[in-house]
Amino acid sequence: MTTVIPAFNAVNGARRIVTLPEPFGMRQGGVLHGVQVACETWGRLGADSSNTLLLFTGLSPSAHAASSPADPTPGWWEEMVGPGKPIDTGRFHVICVNSLGSCFGSTGPASVNPDTGRAYGLKFPTLTVEDIAAAARQALQVLGIPRVQAVVGASLGGMSALAYALLFPAEVEAAVCISSATHSEPFSIAIRSLQRELIRRDPEWRGGEYPPGQGPREGMRLARKLGMLSYRSAREWAERFGRERAKEGNEAFGIEFEVESYLESRARSFIGGFDANSYLYLSRAMDLFDVAEHGGTVDKALRRLRLKRAQVVGVETDILFPLHQQQHLADSLKRAGVDTQFVSLPSKQGHDSFLVDMQRFRPVVGDFLAAL
């Protein structure tokens, strides 16, 4: 099974594609055949196979978290992952997976459905965060990795990390959850719901049956703009843009302020690189995630864990995964008997801080992992 959109098959010397055993049953029903999970690895697996650090991504990145000799382009967490860096590839065998349902080598709605010979589109079964975790675990099994020393993730990646620890408690020693939560609150569901609607209302979406490599570019652009409103913070923009006017633009009610120009350029750089249906599936998976489903309540669910240590990091200016959600997760982990460190950071870049405020995030994550 291969992804349909050519751009997503770009040569990537570091990427490995792992094919999972047949069949792959999805949590809310349906099965997939010949599931592929794209991953990249850094560092060496120790003789006792005990030094793996599994890294999950947010909604949109690929498995290319960091550069390597095989792929020297900078990764999405370049400053965090590498020799001597906080996620130290001199010590850990790091593996980053492209989420199931995504479009960077892992099976998703843009992949060819072997039953039809065409892209799954909306025939792809409902995706949950637990499916992302389960696919990653099967990939590790194929690779001969029986357990992980730490599972790490931010945003959706933090949910995937939590799901992994819940589903395979005997195989995870420590977890780092950044700017994530046990469940989505209505405000974040509402933002994502409107993003999905902007994509679905674009005539080029064609009910999910757009031709390979095409799709709702306009809808994706607008959805990305809305995303940016939730990823950053009002404080950052007030300091950064103030009331600066834009140079471009004389369209009626078009771009007049610099912040509008910024949003437009950020949105344009996003479209074309991400499959619209993948976006819909991964976005809804975040809405659906709820730790409480694994035990009736969050507290009961977390008693399943056998983590030795956990770190929960949140950011004061995050409006998508507000700080009280990380506080709640940390408190719940403590009640479940997990030795948990909660860190609240004053970063001003909102939900995206873990990608940009590296001066704050590097020592926090590094110190925790160094002490494992």
> Footprint of a copy of itself on this chain (CB under 8 A)?
122, 183-191, 193-194, 196-198, 200-201, 207-208, 218, 222, 225-226, 228-229, 233-234, 237-238, 240-243, 252-253, 255-260, 263, 280, 284, 287, 290, 319, 322
Contact 76, 355 (CB under 8 A): yes
Q: To the nearest whole angstrom, how small is the minimum distance from the Cβ of residue 191 to a copy of itself?
A: 6
Q: Pick the catalytic residue: 68, 106, 111, 155? A: 155
- Residue type for 219, please? G
User: Least distance from C-beta 295 to a copy of itself, angstroms?
Assistant: 15
CB 318 within 8 A of CB 179: yes
175 and 161 Cβ atoms separated by less than 8 Å: yes
Q: Respond yes or no: is residue 328 known to be catalytic.
A: no
Look at strands 81-82 and 93-97 and give their pairing.
unpaired
Contacts of residue 218, Cβ cutoff 8 Å, sequence gap at least 6? 202, 204
Query: Is residue 299 packed enough to be buried (19+ CB in 10 Å), middle (13-18) or exposed (0-12)?
Result: middle
Give the shortest CB-51-to-a copy of itself separation in angstroms.
38
Nearer to a copy of itself, 144 or 207 (CB): 207
Name the minimum Å distance from CB 303 to a copy of itself. 21
Residue 245 corresponds to which tokens in the numbers above? 């006017």
Least distance from C-beta 370 to a copy of itself, angstroms?
A: 35
Rank residues 88 and 258 by Cβ distance to a copy of itself and give the closer one: 258
Residue owning tokens 């610099």: 258
Whichever of 49 and 193 has its CB closer to a copy of itself, that residue is 193
Q: How far is the CB of 118 from a copy of itself (least distance, A)?
A: 17
Structural tokens at position 81:
């992952």
- Angle CA(205)–CA(208)–CA(211) in degrees, nearest 5? 75
DSSP annotation string for 331-366: HHHHHTT-EEEEEEE--SSGGGHHHH-HHHHHHHHH
- Of 71 and 256, nearer to a copy of itself (C-beta) is 256
Q: What angle do CA 38, 91, 98 make, to 5 degrees?
A: 15
Q: Which is nearer to a copy of itself, 176 or 320 (CB)?
A: 320
Q: For a copy of itself, which is the closer residue by CB, 76 or 241?
A: 241
Of 238 and 371, CB closest to a copy of itself:
238
**Which of the following is catalytic: 88, 318, 352, 357?**
318
* 3 state DSSP class of 251: coil
Instruction: Give catalytic status of residue 62 as yes or no.
Output: no
The CB-of-277 to a copy of itself minimum distance in angstroms stands at 9
- The distance of closest approach from Cβ of residue 260 to a copy of itself in the complex, given in angstroms and rounded to an integer, is 5
Tokens representing 308 are 């030795």
Long-range contacts of 28-31 (CB under 8 A, 24+ apart): 28/125, 28/126, 28/128, 29/125, 29/126, 30/125, 30/126, 31/125
Q: Which is nearer to a copy of itself, 47 or 252 (CB)?
A: 252
Three-state DSSP class for 300?
Answer: helix
Q: Which two tokens stand for residue 154?
A: 């931010």
The values of phi and psi at residue 199, to 5°, are -70, -45
Closest to 40 measured CA to CA, from 12, 60, 59: 12
Is 318 tagged catalytic?
A: yes
Please state, in angstroms and rounded to a whole number, the distance separating the CA atoms of residues 369 and 155.
Answer: 19
Residue from 64, 93, 294, 351 carrying the catalytic annotation: 351
List, by residue number, the catalytic residues. Answer: 155, 318, 351
